[in-house]
């Protein structure tokens, strides 16, 4: 009895690996067909959101540095270098964070023209959730690919899948009547020719 349980467990593990491999290859095929391309409307929305969230802090950084320079050269007022550095770098950091916020707060849906929430906060949270979900899915895919490699690679998995499909087809053929079997066999031979 114990041997039968172990064999059943091994078969179910192979079936799980096979299912995972099939879903991974389907995802890979979908990604190759056109994934990873940002639609033009979405890219325009992202760019439009970058103007205030990135342009204002970077412009402020340049203006602040020019103001410190003017104060030092024309007005002869000296400020601590740490104050100048902190002010300009602080605005640069705000601008860099603005890049991230402007990309995530713009709607990623083609049909949706506006972002939801004040300043796109709701859309930002939705898109951040999508990114977290994608990272988690990526981790699962890495683990699944490691499991597939341990099982002999994708070629071995495809071979096992073909064997299982052939077994299923044979089981279906056994269930049919003699006439249906003969018709199916004739059709298969015609398809091969």
Tens digit of pLDDT for each residue in 83-114? Answer: 999 999 999 999 999 999 999 988 888 777 77
Answer yes or no: are the C-beta atoms of 71 and 80 closer than 8 Å.
Answer: no
pTM across the whole model: 0.58
pLDDT digits (tens, 9 = 90+) for 22-48: 777 777 766 666 666 788 888 888 998
Helix (H, G, I), strand (E, B) or coil at 114: coil
The pLDDT value recorded for residue 157 is 67
Can you give the residue ranges of every domain in the chain?
Answer: 38-151
First to last CA, the chain: 48
Within the chain, strands assigned E span: none
For residue 113, give the nearest of 123, 101, 127 by alpha carbon. Answer: 123
């Amino acid at each position: 009895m114990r041997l039968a349980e172990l064999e059943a467990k091994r078969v179910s593990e192979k079936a799980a690996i096979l299912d995972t491999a099939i879903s991974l290859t389907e995802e890979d095929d979908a990604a190759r067909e056109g994934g990873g391309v940002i639609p033009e409307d979405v890219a325009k929305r992202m760019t439009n959101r970058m103007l205030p969230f990135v342009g204002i802090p970077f412009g402020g950084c340049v203006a602040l540095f020019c103001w410190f320079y003017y104060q030092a050269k024309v007005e002869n007022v000296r400020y601590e270098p740490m104050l100048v550095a902190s002010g300009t770098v602080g605005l640069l950091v705000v601008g860099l964070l603005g890049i991230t916020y402007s990309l995530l707060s713009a709607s990623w849906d083609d049909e949706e023209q506006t972002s939801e929430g004040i300043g796109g906060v709701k859309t930002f949270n939705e898109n951040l959730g999508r990114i977290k979900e994608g990272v988690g899915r990526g981790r699962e895919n890495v683990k699944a690919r490691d499991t597939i490699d341990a099982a002999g690679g994708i070629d071995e998995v495809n071979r096992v899948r073909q064997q299982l499909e052939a077994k299923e087809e044979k089981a279906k053929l056994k269930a049919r009547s003699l006439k249906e079997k003969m018709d199916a066999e004739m059709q298969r031979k015609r398809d091969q020719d």
